[in-house]
Amino acid sequence: MNVRLIGFTLLCILVVAGLIAGLFAQSIERAFTLPSVQKMPGSASVMMPTIPAITPAATQVSASILAQDTFQRANQTLWGAASDGQAWGGDANTLAVFSITAATGQISQGQSTYNAVLGPVSENVDVVVSGSLNHFAPTVNFGAVLRWTNANNWYEAFIDGSNLVVLKAVNGVHTRIRAIPFTALDGKMYTLRFRAVGATLFARVWQSGDPEPNHWMVTVSDTSLTSGQGGVRIVLQNNTIVHVISFLETVAGSGI
Best CA proximity match to 191, nearest among 154, 229, 143? 143
The predicted structure's pLDDT at residue 109: 87
Burial annotation 210-223 (CB, 10 A radius, 16+ → b, else e) = eeeeeebbbeeebe
Domain residue ranges of the chain, discontinuous segments joined by +? 65-250
The predicted structure's pLDDT at residue 21: 46
Give the separation between CA 185 and CA 140, rounded to whole angstroms.
Answer: 13
Residue pLDDT tens, the chain, 256 long = 454 545 555 554 554 455 444 544 454 444 444 444 344 344 333 333 332 333 333 333 455 999 999 999 999 999 999 999 999 999 999 999 999 999 999 999 889 999 999 999 999 999 999 999 999 998 999 999 999 999 999 999 999 999 999 999 999 999 999 999 999 999 999 999 999 999 999 999 999 999 999 999 999 999 999 999 999 999 999 899 999 999 999 999 876 6
pTM for the whole structure: 0.75
Q: What are phi and psi of 43, to 5 degrees?
A: -135, 170
Amino acid at position 85, single letter? G
**Architecture of 65-250 per CATH?**
Sandwich (2.60)
Instruction: Answer for the pair 190, 208: CB distance below 8 angstroms, yes or no.
Output: yes
Q: What are phi and psi of 252, to 5 degrees?
A: -105, 120
Give the separation between CA 190 and CA 132, rounded to whole angstroms.
Answer: 6
Instruction: Answer for the pair 67, 82: CB distance below 8 angstroms, yes or no.
Output: yes
Give the separation between CA 157 and CA 218, rounded to whole angstroms.
Answer: 9
Q: Which residues pair with 194 in a beta bridge?
A: 127, 203
The predicted structure's pLDDT at residue 6: 54
The predicted structure's pLDDT at residue 57: 32
Give the separation between CA 10 and CA 27, rounded to whole angstroms.
Answer: 26
